[in-house]
Structure 1
């Protein structure tokens, strides 16, 4: 049930979004890479906001910032709310930051109303989700979830600075990273609010939605080989055009994806050889990325896609070769938490909609620690990782209210809801 007495301050969220966005390298958008002076400046702002909201603040040895709002029973398990503070290069203002600022806002509202729930709440600003600087994602959330690897400390950025070195420059003790890990017995669950980074909510005319899961990804490199020839002398009927065969296959990939919604499939990179305007393409190298929360469905579609490639290549007298580059498992949100989010959305007069996240989030790493749930907030035209990224004040306010009402349900009314876990 929504608590109408606890009012979210949407203008405060918007103001803080702008303030945090100013902590950036000079760029059209926001560039705030982990462990840089820009990142530390942003973290200082977040620390101030946490303190102003009645939280005690700590920074762990992976440079995650955690604000704790004590419960009426301090020994009760904590509910975690988080997202990341780093950005891509020339990114937007809302990706990650909205989740952290919304978490601070709901604690701010509780503090202003002299309200303490039974369980403590911790707001986490994760240090590195994007993986831009060290090319290794979810560094902070893996540390808190207890899955961080010692070997990761040796990875280096383009200037040759290791992750361990960057952390030491901040006065931290990276080789004591185990101290960041939380005990699952002391955690009630994890919530993350994030912009959708897609166009579905806007198309449906809804301010926010419920994430059912985060898609697993299969990524492949492929090569289709034909025979290069003179563009002016070889009849079309006699050609072994690798690019024409690839084009036919890409259309088939699109058809199969449309028939198996919500699966998504993308041919994102193509290299045509020899790449001359007067030569028939003799070889095409490319990448294929396929994502879904349903592993069986994804595997069946992948089989169909590769079967189509073989048939097209046999018909056109081409050869097809494929290699797997990456495989990540899907992460499903907890049924009990999604039910609480759905109830909070209904209580705020909004039609509930369930969405699959095709992008990765810190929640994926946190699922190794505890039960997870996610709320998506509408963003304009689904644009993200771009300076044009935008969410309205009203939508941010509604999203934060749904987050607050979800927390109240989980802590006050429906603690039994967390007993059910999706396998």
Structure 2
């Protein structure tokens, strides 16, 4: 079986650990999370790594050199998904480096530096809205306040971690010593159409977008839908709908600025009651901090004006913010060289999505290798890559790892 076919087989197997329904739904500290870690732990052992669940919910595999204190290259990605997501977002970056290390081991190639592969617990933020808990723990920038975030059932991050086998009090001790780390490398599907349009399998990432998330609460007044006259109604949903339309208008009118209102909650959510409250999320992204700042100010100013016009109250809570970060020049060059040595074009791409590198950059230089995905589709059950592209990415990563050995001698 080819490396590409092995990779897809493993990703198919991991996708079985999902909540019922379309695509893959696997949330942080869920039963599906627990089950998939058993599979990943087996992959780690095959690759010559010793797996361990850390205090923040990451599964970490280390080789003997890493455990002995040698300078270490960290690789990996996240195991969690969005609701009804795909098989490859996140999990590709866990399965692929482990397969590459396993093949290097079978070929008798020993790296002269330590290697650590991490299956980060929470990157998507689907369950708790807070994100990058595991990567911030390793980077030494973990905020204990994030433990108080709660899911839809009222369970806090701290409570979920304890039930899962983590230890919130010990998370600060997970911070790595920057002098002990060579860098961080993540393989990920592109989540966009650029590589497919160029008919290239792989791309090397130059930087990651800045992201911010907000929770907006629009409050009006409930009333009988049949007896309350239309004029003067304080309908929170109508006001929220106008705000969402304005968000879309501003985003479309601003270059290098994207965003989404992805979640909406209506109360009391009854067929014959005027909505009294609407809570909706707002996510904004741009590679340019000033574009994102100005866009946010324009959006929130427009929302406040719309709320005032309908005699509604509006509160805004920022739930997440991360600035854009650049990938390390030496990793961009090294990954590009590995592509060329494997006869793969080394396209340079900007990432419009956030990744664990947004946190890991506070610890060390980061690098990313993108893999073409069908129709540029991600966060969707039809998310796909080909075995040939998986093969190319695995061989490029193997070449990178072997070349890094030479560079460090």
Q: TM-score, normalised by structure 1?
A: 0.76
Give the secondary structure class of the aligned counterpart of 2:74. Answer: strand
Q: Could you report, residue by residue, the CA deviation over 1:78-98 in whole angstroms, capped at 9, with x for unpaired residues?
A: 000010111111111001000
Distance in 2, matches of 1:34 and 1:269, equals 19
**Where does residue 133 of structure 1 map in the other structure?**
127
| Match of residue 139, structure 2, among 145, 148, 151 | 145
Q: CA deviation at 1:155?
A: 2.4
Distance in 1, matches of 2:400 and 2:389, equals 16
Q: Could you report, residue by residue, the CA deviation over 1:25-73 in whole angstroms, capped at 9, with x for unpaired residues?
A: 1111111111111111100000011112221122111121111123499
**Where does residue 18 of structure 1 map in the other structure?**
12
Whether the 8 Å contact between 2:211 and 2:354 is mirrored in structure 1 is no
Within the alignment, does 1:35 sit opposite 2:29 as a pair? yes
Whether the 8 Å contact between 1:69 and 1:107 is mirrored in structure 2 is no
| Match of residue 345, structure 1, among 319, 339, 342 | 339
Distance in 1, matches of 2:142 and 2:257, equals 29
Within the alignment, does 1:81 sit opposite 2:54 as a pair? no
Whether the 8 Å contact between 1:72 and 1:116 is mirrored in structure 2 is no
Larger Rg, first or second structure (1 or 2): 1
| Match of residue 376, structure 1, among 360, 370, 395 | 370
Q: Could you report, residue by residue, the CA deviation over 1:321-376 in whole angstroms, capped at 9, with x for unpaired residues?
A: x9987553111101111011111111122222111111111111111111100111
**Where does residue 264 of structure 1 map in the other structure?**
257
Within the alignment, does 1:183 sit opposite 2:177 as a pair? yes
Within the alignment, does 1:97 sit opposite 2:91 as a pair? yes
Q: CA deviation at 1:178?
A: 1.9
Whether the 8 Å contact between 1:77 and 1:185 is mirrored in structure 2 is yes
Distance in 2, matches of 1:410 and 1:383, equals 32
Distance in 1, matches of 2:67 and 2:162, equals 36
Give the secondary structure class of the aligned counterpart of 2:364. Answer: coil
Q: CA deviation at 1:302?
A: 8.0
Q: CA deviation at 1:287?
A: 8.8
Distance in 1, matches of 2:104 and 2:263, equals 52
Q: CA deviation at 1:407?
A: 2.4
More moved, 167-176 vs 330-339: 167-176
Distance in 1, matches of 2:154 and 2:263, equals 31
Within the alignment, does 1:158 sit opposite 2:152 as a pair? yes
Whether the 8 Å contact between 2:372 and 2:385 is mirrored in structure 1 is yes
Distance in 2, matches of 1:269 and 1:395, equals 31
Q: Could you report, residue by residue, the CA deviation over 1:162-215 in whole angstroms, capped at 9, with x for unpaired residues?
A: 222222223332211123221111110000000111111111111110111111
- State the number of aligned residues: 372
Distance in 1, matches of 2:12 and 2:206, equals 30
Q: CA deviation at 1:297?
A: 6.2
Q: TM-score, normalised by structure 2?
A: 0.78
Distance in 1, matches of 2:97 and 2:3, equals 12
Distance in 1, matches of 2:209 and 2:5, equals 33
Distance in 2, matches of 1:133 and 1:253, equals 26
| Match of residue 104, structure 2, among 110, 116, 121 | 110
Pair 1:180–1:379, CA change in 2 (3 A): same
Q: Could you report, residue by residue, the CA deviation over 1:86-137 in whole angstroms, capped at 9, with x for unpaired residues?
A: 1111111001000000110111011111221110111110011111112211
Whether the 8 Å contact between 1:218 and 1:290 is mirrored in structure 2 is yes
Whether the 8 Å contact between 1:219 and 1:288 is mirrored in structure 2 is yes
**Where does residue 70 of structure 1 map in the other structure?**
64
Within the alignment, does 1:363 sit opposite 2:357 as a pair? yes
| Match of residue 388, structure 2, among 382, 389, 394 | 394
**Where does residue 207 of structure 1 map in the other structure?**
201
Distance in 1, matches of 2:373 and 2:69, equals 38
Distance in 2, matches of 1:219 and 1:33, equals 19
Whether the 8 Å contact between 2:322 and 2:358 is mirrored in structure 1 is no
Q: Could you report, residue by residue, the CA deviation over 1:244-275 in whole angstroms, capped at 9, with x for unpaired residues?
A: 9x989967854652xxxxx233475899xxxx
Q: Could you report, residue by residue, the CA deviation over 1:279-299 in whole angstroms, capped at 9, with x for unpaired residues?
A: xxxxxx999865333435666
Distance in 1, matches of 2:23 and 2:11, equals 13
Within the alignment, does 1:335 sit opposite 2:329 as a pair? yes
- 5+ residue gaps, structure 2, are 219-229, 232-240, 265-278, 303-313
Pair 1:249–1:150, CA change in 2 (3 A): closer
Whether the 8 Å contact between 2:15 and 2:24 is mirrored in structure 1 is yes
